A and B are shown apart, each in its own frame.
Chain A
């Protein structure tokens, strides 16, 4: 659907703010203030503009950052969970697994083993290449996977 460029430019500001500080809390009210539109219209306008609801966008950015830290640092998984904005290690681990299909620890082991020839790509763009593609809600993803599991056990 068509949206006014002037509105989109302001919505982009909210997206930019989440990009640079995805570890922070981003309520709809706070994001709406950044975009200078009413909280009632914000979530819908954001989804129309960027294809995902704002909270799910934030989730993908947090997971992307967590993946980068797992790959590039020796920080503990607990540190990574809290640094990327999660309030509990359990929630982080569960959502990470639901979205990526493996645990943070598994990803770390696998990434450390693989060699990358991506050192000529600027780091910020490289990070985007590892952003999870979250087209459906985490809950929906869980439901679908549970269904598949049930079928195979029957």
Chain B
């Protein structure tokens, strides 16, 4: 595929902390980590999804003024950013592994509506729903 969404970014409170979380606890890989002064362009990738990058950005200068950055940091910490969905083959297995790694789950796996889902947050407050991919009946 040569067309489509390439990068979607999240705001995080600390890029080192976010990098550790997404790589070590969730199993993502670093795609780009490039700095220029205060600015750091950091993206990670799901190992099964090479055409998509998840950006981990810290709101602040030089892109944003201090007051705007503060407002965004508050919004993230309140969990008010849009929902994110992570699809997994087996929700309970993924939960077990991630929970053991210290991921903050806000909902344990529940089986309903023909699938199993759980919820977790990254250290900054971004909320993820982890949903087991529905098995298409063959």
List residues of chain A with CB under 8 Å of any chain B CB: 2-3, 5-6, 8-9, 11-12, 15-16, 19-20, 49-50, 122-125
The answer to whether B117 touches A124, judged by C-beta atoms less than 8 angstroms apart, is yes
Q: Is the CB of A9 within 8 A of B124?
A: yes
Pairwise interchain contact A122-B74, C-beta atoms closer than 8 A: no
Q: How far is the CA of A9 from the CA of B11 in the complex (A)?
A: 14
CB atoms of A9 and B85 under 8 A apart: no
Contacts of B79 in A (CB 8 A): 12, 15-16
B129 touches A12 (CB 8 A): no
Interface pairs (28), CB distance under 8 Å? A2-B70, A5-B70, A5-B73, A5-B74, A5-B77, A6-B77, A8-B74, A8-B77, A9-B13, A11-B78, A12-B78, A12-B79, A12-B121, A15-B79, A19-B106, A19-B107, A20-B106, A20-B119, A49-B78, A122-B85, A122-B117, A122-B129, A123-B112, A123-B113, A123-B117, A124-B117, A124-B119, A125-B83
Cα distance A87–B2 in the bound complex, in angstroms: 58
Q: Could you say which residues of chain B place their CB within 8 Å of the CB of A12?
A: 77-79, 121, 125
Q: Name B's interface SS.
A: mixed
Instruction: Give the CA-CA distance A102 to B106 in the complex, in Å.
Output: 32
**How far apart sit A12 and B66, CA to CA, in the bound complex (Å)?**
23
Expressed in whole angstroms, the Cα–Cα distance for A124 and B107 within the complex equals 11
CB distance from A65 to the nearest CB of B (A): 13
B131 at the interface (CB under 8 A from A): yes
Give the distance to chain A from B127, nearest Cβ to Cβ, in Å.
Answer: 8
